[in-house]
Each structure stands twice: as structure tokens, then as C-alpha cells.
Amino acid sequence: MRDWDEYAARWRADNSWVKIEDLANTLPRGAYLRLVGDEWGDKRSVREFVADFVVPHLSPDAIAVEIGSGGGRIAVMVAPWCRLLIALDTSAEMIGALREAAAPLRNIVPILMAPGNARLPLADASVDLIYSFDVMVHLDQRTIFRYLDEISRVLKGGGVAAVHHATCETAAGWEHFVQSVARGVNEGDFASFEYLHSTTLRQMADQVGLAVLGTTIGRRGNFYYERDVVALLRKVTTPIGCRRSGPI
């Protein structure tokens, strides 16, 4: 697989290379795999993320943003809880899959971003909530920092962000890292995980005016919480980290 465009274009529920990670699933493939991305983790854990980190910070008047919307598996859960959901992705094929998945919903606005550009196409202090799930696990530290800087720029004062990233801090995360080494995975390979310590994320957040309200370190019973980290951030000051004009 070369990139996410090819992944989305080739994705079919009956394709054998689409591996369901939920070992407890008993449904037929066609019933379980409804949207691109349903194969990753398990659906209960995804719903728990939405319930823990997204819905409590939304209101009927809220404007929310998803960074890396993929095929829409989370967007369709979030949209009913806010006035507007702006879904950003760098893959045209993923945006196409999202449009199909979100067809019944009128308040999702998909926007295609240029690959390699972390500049969010949004005005300063214009958004109530931003979340990114199962996306930054694939990004290097510099790109994550650029996104954090942009998240701080577009959030309203007091606005909240939920950021999900890979780590070696957890037992499952360390095992995932070791397995990737054994498989010969290298940085920059398609879908490779790039691991970031939660203290580094906290340092980055501090530099751009985001306070870490809490993380999932130590939480059990969720596929993603046990392997990775979800951090809840709040905009508290004017960003001072790497503010600049033009594309990042």
C-alpha cells in the first residue's frame, strides 16, 4: 500500500487484507465493516473515546473540528452533538468515503487539506472543540507540534482539544513498538507508528498555550487507552511557541 488514498480506494469489507482487530467480534464481516476504519481497534473503545473526550465538551451551538476524519467512522457519531463539524483530511479518497458515510447528515463540512501542510484552513479563535483520533499515531514529533500550534490558534479561549498519539509508556505500546522493530518498520513507512512520550506532548502544549487537563495513562479496558495516549487540552493563553504566517 502506497498511501491513504490507495487504502481508501481499495477498501472493501470482503477484502481479505482488511484485518478486523476486534478479536471479540462475532458479526459477519459485512455487518461489522460498514465504514473505512471500522477494522481498527474495536467499536466499543471508539465509542468510549467519543463519550469521554468529545461529547461532554459539545453543545447544540458548538463548532467542532476533526483532524484526520478518514472515512467518517467518528464524524458520524459526533455530528449529532454539535451545530457544525468541520472534517479535515489530506486524502481525497478518504474525503469521498466520508461524504458517502455522512450523506444523511447536513452539518458535516469535509475539507481536503494538502499533504504535508499542518496549517488549518480556519480563522483564529473560531472553534469550540478540536479532536484527532487514530491519526497523530502516524505523525512525527515536529508535525504534531505544528498541529498543536494550529490547534491553539483556532480554538476559542477556553476551548478544548482531544489528541490521541502513540507512546512506549504503556505495556501494550511498548509491545507494539518492539513488534514494529521486528517487522522492519521504519519511520516514514506507510501507516508506521511514531511514538511520543506524554511529557513531551505536555512540553509542546505548554509552548503554544495549551494546558493538559488529563491523559489516559493508567486507564484500562479500552484498546486505545491501554496502548496509546489520549490527552485532553484546554486553550489558556495566547500561543507563543512557533506562531508564523503562511503555510506550516
pLDDT of residue 244: 47
Give domain status of residue 179, yes or no. Answer: yes
Give domain status of residue 7, yes or no. Answer: no
- Is the whole model's pTM more than 0.85, yes or no? yes
Name the residue among 95, 186, 194, 112 with its Cα closest to residue 145.
194
Q: What does the alpha-carbon distance between residue 193 and residue 242 come to, in Å, rounded to a whole number?
A: 25
Query: What are the φ and ψ backbone dihedral angles of 99, each rounded to 5 degrees?
Result: -60, -40
Give domain status of residue 79, yes or no. Answer: yes
Task: List b or e across 151-160, with b for residues whose CB sees 16 or more CB atoms inside 10 angstroms.
Answer: bbbbbeeebb
pLDDT of residue 246: 38
pLDDT of residue 237: 72
Q: What does the alpha-carbon distance between residue 165 and residue 220 come to, in Å, rounded to a whole number?
A: 16
Give domain status of residue 212, yes or no. Answer: yes
Give domain status of residue 50, yes or no. Answer: yes
Give domain status of residue 23, yes or no. Answer: no
pLDDT of residue 1: 87
Report the CATH number at residue 137.
3.40.50.150
Number of compact structural domains in the chain: 1
Give domain status of residue 187, yes or no. Answer: yes
Contact 97, 72 (CB under 8 A): yes
Reading the chain (248 residues) residue by residue, the pLDDT tens digits are 899 999 999 999 999 999 999 999 999 999 999 999 999 999 999 999 999 999 999 999 999 999 999 999 999 999 999 999 999 999 999 999 999 999 999 999 999 999 888 999 999 999 999 999 999 999 999 999 999 999 999 999 999 999 999 999 999 999 999 999 999 999 999 999 999 999 999 999 999 999 999 999 999 999 999 999 999 999 997 655 555 433 33
The cell 502506497 sits on which residue? Answer: 2
Range of the domain at 117: 40-235
Give domain status of residue 130, yes or no. Answer: yes
